[in-house]
């Protein structure tokens, strides 16, 4: 079991530097924050070991030829929603799958190269998944905010 700990100001500053430049070296971060590279390295390792930090690359959908984004709300019947979501999550077009409360059981975020791929995905692929009662697609017409650093780290008072 990983041990959780409270992040302090130094940890939050290190994370902020990594958000600005995920490729920054420990030495660069240390120089910016007035620390040693060893301190930065050990704190990053400690946060990673506690599953409180993970440095990842984020790619741009359009740069990779995905010009069509869509949300699909799914109602499930006759099968656990978690099993249906696990199966849907295996499709390469699905980049996020969530079990949700409310009218729908599953919420998917899907990236397609072209609008013409939509019928194949919904009618040929998703329709083969047992337990889907309804699918309600919603096409993304504009992205107002795309923030991948979804876990803001703030000091608790």
Residue 51 has pLDDT above 90, yes or no: no
> 73 and 135 share a domain?
yes
Q: Whole domain around residue 69: which residue ranges?
A: 62-139
User: Does residue 118 lie within any of the structural domains?
Assistant: yes
Q: Are residues 67 and 132 in the same domain?
A: yes
Higher pLDDT, 19 or 109: 109
User: CB of 121 within 8 A of CB of 70?
Assistant: no
Please identify which residue in the block is written with the tokens 């699905």. 94
- Is the domain of 87 the same as that of 109? yes
Which percentage of the chain shows pLDDT scores above 70? 86
Quick check: 80 pLDDT over 50? yes
| Tokens, residue 37 | 């590279």
Claim to verify: residue 90 and residue 111 sit in the same structural domain: yes
Q: What is the DSSP letter of 116?
A: T
**Is 70 exceeded by the pLDDT of residue 21?**
yes
- Tell me, yes or no, whether 84 and 112 share the same domain: yes
153 part of a folded domain: no
Same domain flag for 39 and 91: no
> Is position 156 within any domain?
no
d(CA 15, CA 152): 10
Residue 79 included in any domain: yes
CATH code where residue 38 lies: 1.10.10.10
Helices (H), the chain: 9-20, 26-33, 37-49, 81-88, 117-119
Q: Residue 5: which residues within 8 A CB-CB, separation 6 or more? A: 46, 50, 52
The answer on 112 and 66 residing in a single domain is yes
Confidence at residue 20, expressed as pLDDT on a 0 to 100 scale? 85
Which of 30-34, 60-64, 137-141 is modeled with the greatest confidence? Answer: 30-34
Q: Is 103 exposed, middle or buried (0-12, 13-18, 19+ CB in 10 A)?
A: exposed
pTM score: 0.65
Residues 78 and 29 in one domain: no
91 and 122 fall within a common domain: yes
Which pLDDT does position 107 carry in this prediction?
96
- Our count of domains for the chain comes to 2
Per-residue pLDDT tens over the stretch 52-74: 888 776 666 667 777 788 999 99
Residue 145 lies in a domain: no
For residues 68 and 120, membership in a common domain is answered with yes
Asked if residues 75 and 88 have their Cβ atoms less than 8 Å apart, the reply is: no
User: What pLDDT shows up at residue 149?
Assistant: 58
Query: pLDDT digits over 86-115, tens only?
Result: 999 999 999 899 999 999 999 999 989 888
């Amino acid at each position: 079991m990983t041990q959780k700990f409270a992040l302090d100001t130094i940890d939050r500053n290190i994370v902020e530097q990594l958000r600005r430049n995920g490729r920054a070296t420990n030495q660069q971060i240390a120089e910016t924050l007035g620390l040693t590279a060893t301190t930065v390295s050990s704190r990053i390792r400690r946060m990673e070991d506690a599953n409180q930090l993970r440095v990842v690359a984020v790619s741009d959908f359009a740069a990779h030829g995905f010009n069509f984004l869509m949300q699909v709300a799914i109602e499930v019947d006759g099968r656990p929603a978690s099993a249906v979501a696990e199966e849907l999550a295996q499709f390469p077009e699905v980049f996020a799958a969530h079990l949700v409360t409310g009218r729908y059981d599953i919420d998917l975020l899907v990236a397609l190269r072209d609008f013409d791929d939509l019928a194949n995905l919904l009618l040929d692929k998703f329709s083969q998944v047992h337990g889907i009662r309804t699918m309600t697609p919603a096409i993304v017409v504009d992205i107002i905010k795309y923030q991948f650093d979804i876990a803001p780290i703030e000091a608790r008072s």
